[in-house]
Amino acid sequence: MSSREIILQRLRNRSGGDLATPECDFSVLKRPDWSTAERIERFEKAIESVHGEVHHCTDDTWQERLAEVLATRGARNLLVPREHAIGKAIRDSARTDLPELLAYETPIENWQTDLFNDVDAAITSTRGGIAETGSLILWPTPDEPRLMSLVPPVHIAVLKASELYTTFHEAMQAQDWSAGMPTNALLISGPSKTADIEQTLAYGVHGPKELIVLVIE
Amino acid sequence: MNSQAHHVDVKEFHPRAQAAIHNPKIRQNFRRAMDGLMAKRTAAFEGWDLETLRDLGANIRLKALSNLPDLLEQLEAKLTENGIRVHWAVDGDEACRIVRDICVARDARTVIKGKSMVSEEMELNHYLGEQGIEALESDLGEYIVQLADETPSHIIMPAIHKNTGEISELMHEKTGTDLSNDVEYLTAAARQQLREKFMNADVGVSGVNFAVAETGTLCLVENEGNGRMTTTVPPCHIAVTGIEKVVPSLEDVSALLALLTRSATGQHITTYFNMISGPRKSEEMDGPEEVHLVLVDNGRSTIYQDDELLDTLRCIRCGACMNHCPVYTRVGGHTYGTTYPGPIGKILMPHLIGLDEGRHLPSASSLCGACGEVCPVKIPIPDLLVRLRQESVDGDRLHPAKVRGHGAKRTTGEALVWKGWAWMHAHPGIYRLGTGTAARFRALQPSKVGAWTRYRTAPRLAGKTLHQRMKERGQ
């Protein structure tokens, strides 16, 4: 008998007999129907409490804010998606106040050392956010691969205020996640951090030191 | 690298506890950390209907366990459909061999690891080392513990027993960093050291917090980003997990996640919640080309047989029970000598190592009940401790003991004393004669009664028996 069969058979022939399946009532996870303004406020408060940075923008101002954010950090370059609307907008704007624009257009094996050592910042879109916990929802794609939000020291995320959900539970239901998941999906709530040395918080231990959210209202 | 774990005799609990209690550094490091964690947990649940939320957590786990074999099959089918290969291991040794075989097939020499308690249970690092495969921990706490050639002293914060100065000296000695009490500097140094390792590793090994049957998704909860690195950068990712970690749906995960991070570290959520449902697709630019899941039984299906012991399998490994345990806080995690320390370790480890080797674990408790009160999935830990205490002396004649190594603490002398005690209480005449005699000759009572009087004064027998007093009152 294979190990699989041994384990499953032991579980099926449980000596204590069949177990009752309790009902699960998820209503305790519900939060009041916050207005968009309140959701933004709560999102901002939550993510700032863990060292995230929020900038309020509009469709017309976010690129200017992006340029400022990068300039104050002295970023030499910015990793930008090619296909996504935010990437196109940045590339088409032909702004002169942005650093060199890079693209993630070749598999990681071909440029791993460059990505790890020479990329200063990356910008990605989001699939919305969660007000209660101050989280961003990311589904990496070929256009915005997984490591974009992990390896460069600064991660800038664009979040539409209209896509802010109240809770994680609400977000996954509204977006029908149970119908199928991508190869990788993420909730990101702040920059990378650790408290493993005597409970002292330090940021950027493996991932980005800074997470900057441009909220488009 | 886990060489220490191999030589720790779990039975030597008492000498280790004595040493820890008299070590002010250990006492201070744990006290400070546990006080902070308790306060943060309380704050994180403010405004929540915590009882109802814990009921939901318990019900979700019970629901999953009640359908465990079906869920595992559903999980396997869904993962396979998603391109993730599923392996089954009856015990830790088999799980180690599976990981080795995957490494050998890929000609892998270096493995980078995300945090995984199951891999500690399997002593995977030690095993791979023997096979000539280097396994390096990447969680900062685990990295520190590995540099020191120790084992984790807490399941969430592995290096909590060390203070900054000790860590600075360790990193200086082992990696050549400057001596510094600046945590930012030490963290940045580790970042640099580990980034090299991530880039060069052949395989990434991680644990799993929840495995979702409905969608075939492996969920990882973490703050550092090393879990994401481990599961994304190397060309092959191997996840190892206990068979009890499966849940039916993503909806279940939303509730358990809310409980897990708040109970563990008082965070509303961790920095990263990583959901992996497949290897890299041909059009994708990164992610591992191969993803494996190793489902490890290692005694869990035996625990599963018993209605009461089964509750042990509800655990979501938050560590709240140890954070709130007065014994754990005083003796620290290494005293237990087991993979899982603290209250959850005391009810889980006897199943993994037997009640003969783990005979002192269920007794290392004051039964104050704090662990049961804070458990996010309402595991009745104190009840289970009592049950295991009974099993360790074969003390319940109506319910035959089941746990391997039961009866290891039973002694003929003690059994005789209790037999006599029971007989005396069933015979009123003898009982009165006995208590009357004891009261009359109480001056002869010894002032030292073994271990009991090492830190306490001996209890004094009353001058009159209860029967005598009642009789006098009635007159």
pLDDT tens sequence across A42-98: 999 999 999 999 999 999 999 999 999 999 999 999 999 999 999 999 999 989 999
In one-letter notation, the amino acid at residue B19 is A
Q: Is B367 exposed, middle or buried (0-12, 13-18, 19+ CB in 10 A)?
A: middle
Least Cα distance to B339 among B91, B155, B96, B90 occurs for B155
Average pLDDT in the B407-421 region? Answer: 93
Average pLDDT in the B199-203 region? Answer: 97
- Minimum distance, in Å, between the CA of residue A76 and any CA atom of chain B: 20
Cβ B239 vs Cβ B150: under 8 Å: no
Which tokens belong to A133?
Answer: 């916990």
In one-letter notation, the amino acid at residue A192 is S
Question: Is the CB of A85 inside 8 Å of chain B's CB atoms?
Answer: no
pLDDT tens sequence across B343-385: 999 999 999 999 999 999 999 999 999 999 999 999 999 999 9
What percent of chain B stands above pLDDT 90? 88
**Long-range contacts for A90-97 (Cβ within 8 Å, ≥24 apart)?**
A90/A63, A90/A66, A90/A123, A93/A63, A95/A63, A95/A67, A97/A67, A97/A71
**Partner-chain residue, chosen from B89, B277, B305, that has the shortest CB–CB distance to A183:** B277
Residue B430, pLDDT > 70, answer: yes
- Strand order of the sheet with strand B85-89? B85-89, B290-296, B236-242, B203-206, B110-113, B134-137
Least Cα distance to B161 among B317, B336, B332 occurs for B332
Residue of B61, B63, B269, B351 best to disrupt the A interface, most CBs of A under 10 A? B269
Check residue A22 and give left, alpha or beta (phi > 0: left; psi -120 to 50: alpha).
Answer: beta
A contacts of B306 (beta carbons < 8 Å): 15-16
Contact A107 B286 (CB under 8 A): yes
**Partner-chain residue, chosen from A25, A145, A202, that has the shortest CB–CB distance to B183:** A202
DSSP A147: G
pTM score, whole prediction: 0.94
Cβ A7 vs Cβ B301: under 8 Å: yes
B contacts of A146 (beta carbons < 8 Å): 228, 232, 286-287
What is the ipTM metric for this complex? 0.97
- Minimum distance, in Å, between the CA of residue B336 and any CA atom of chain A: 21
Count of Cβ atoms closer than 10 Å to residue B76 Cβ: 23
Q: How confident is the model at residue B449 (pLDDT cuts 50, 70, 90)?
A: confident
Residue B1, pLDDT > 70, answer: no
Average pLDDT in the B441-469 region? Answer: 87
Question: Is the CB of A94 inside 8 Å of chain B's CB atoms?
Answer: no
Largest CA distance in chain A: 73
Contact A204 B59 (CB under 8 A): no
Q: How far is Cα B443 from Cα B431, in angstroms, rounded to an integer?
A: 20
Contact B233 A28 (CB under 8 A): no
Residue of A138, A199, A203 best to disrupt the B interface, most CBs of B under 10 A? A199
Residue B3, pLDDT > 80, answer: no
pLDDT tens sequence across B75-101: 999 999 999 999 999 999 999 999 999
Q: Which domains does chain A have, with CATH numbers?
A: 34-216 (3.40.50.10420)
pLDDT tens sequence across B95-152: 999 999 999 999 999 999 999 999 999 999 999 999 999 999 999 999 999 999 999 9
**Partner-chain residue, chosen from A10, A24, A187, that has the shortest CB–CB distance to B56:** A24
- Minimum distance, in Å, between the CA of residue B321 and any CA atom of chain A: 18
Could you give the angle at the alpha carbon of B380 between the alpha carbons of B18 and B325, nearest 5°? 30
Q: How many CB pairs under 8 A join A and B?
A: 258
- Give the contacts of A173 (CB within 8 A, at least 6 positions apart): B251
Which tokens belong to B432?
Answer: 């009165």
**Partner-chain residue, chosen from A14, A182, A192, that has the shortest CB–CB distance to B304:** A14
Average pLDDT in the B315-331 region? Answer: 97
For chain B, what is the HEC assignment? CCHHHHHCCHHHHHHHHHHHHCCHHHHHHHHHHHHHHHHHHHHHCCCCCHHHHHHHHHHHHHHHHHCHHHHHHHHHHHHHHHCCEEEEECCHHHHHHHHHHHHHHCCCCEEEECCCHHHHHHCHHHHHHHCCCEEEECCHHHHHHHHCCCCCCCCCCCCCCCCHHHHHHHHHHHHCCCCCCCHHHHHHHHHHHHHHHHHHCCEEEECCCEEECCCCEEEEEECCCHHHHHHHCCCEEEEEEEHHHEECCHHHHHHHHHHHHHHHHCCCCCCEEEEECCCCCCCCCCCCCEEEEEEECCCHHHHCCCCCHHHHHHCCCCCHHHHCCHHHHHHCHHHHCCCCCHHHHHHHHHHHHCCCCCCCCCCCCCCCCHHHHHCCCCCCHHHHHHHHHHHHCCCCCCCCCCCCCCCCCCCHHHHHHHHHHHHHHCCHHHHHHHHHHHHHCHHHCCCCCHHHHHCCCCCCCCCCCHHHHHHHHHC
pLDDT tens sequence across A167-194: 999 999 999 999 999 999 999 999 999 9
Which tokens belong to B412?
Answer: 């003929």
**Partner-chain residue, chosen from A21, A107, A168, that has the shortest CB–CB distance to B67:** A21
Q: How far is Cα B222 from Cα B232, in angstroms, rounded to an integer?
A: 14
Could you give the angle at the alpha carbon of B341 between the alpha carbons of B335 and B346, nearest 5°? 105
CA distances from A4 to B213, B239, B243 (A): 17, 17, 11
Which tokens belong to A35?
Answer: 């207005």
Q: How confident is the model at residue B458 (pLDDT cuts 50, 70, 90)?
A: confident
Q: How confident is the model at residue B7 (pLDDT cuts 50, 70, 90)?
A: low
On average, the pLDDT of chain B sits at 94
Q: How far is Cα B295 from Cα B374, in angstroms, rounded to an integer?
A: 28
What per-residue confidence (pLDDT) applies to B467? 85
Cβ B216 vs Cβ B124: under 8 Å: no
Least Cα distance to B198 among B147, B145, B143 occurs for B143
**Partner-chain residue, chosen from B194, B254, B297, that has the shortest CB–CB distance to A29:** B254
CA distances from A152 to A50, A92, A121, B139, B376 (A): 19, 23, 5, 19, 36
Contact B268 A132 (CB under 8 A): yes
- Give the contacts of B464 (CB within 8 A, at least 6 positions apart): B439, B472
Question: Is the CB of A177 inside 8 Å of chain B's CB atoms?
Answer: yes
Contact B33 A206 (CB under 8 A): no
Searching chain B, which residue's CA lies closest to the CA of residue A31? B48
- Minimum distance, in Å, between the CA of residue B448 and any CA atom of chain A: 42
CA distances from A19 to B190, B247, B310, B311, B378 (A): 48, 16, 10, 12, 17
Count Cα neighbours of A189 within 13 Å in the Cβ-side half-sphere: 26
Which tokens belong to B202?
Answer: 């052949």
Least Cα distance to A140 among B272, B254, B270, B240 occurs for B272
For chain B, give every domain's residue range. Answer: 414-474
Please say whether the dihedral angle defined by the alpha carbons of residues A118, B141, B110 and B285, taken in this order, is positive or negative. Answer: negative
Least Cα distance to A164 among A33, A2, A74 occurs for A33
- Give the contacts of B330 (CB within 8 A, at least 6 positions apart): B20, B21, B27, B30
Do the strands B85-89 and A164-165 form a parallel or antiparallel pair, or are they unpaired?
Answer: unpaired
Question: Is the CB of A31 inside 8 Å of chain B's CB atoms?
Answer: no
Q: How confident is the model at residue B2 (pLDDT cuts 50, 70, 90)?
A: very low
Q: How confident is the model at residue B445 (pLDDT cuts 50, 70, 90)?
A: confident
What per-residue confidence (pLDDT) applies to B345? 97
Cβ A178 vs Cβ A185: under 8 Å: no
Report chain A's terminal Cα–Cα distance, integer Å. Answer: 61
Contact B65 A19 (CB under 8 A): yes
Which tokens belong to B203?
Answer: 């395989």
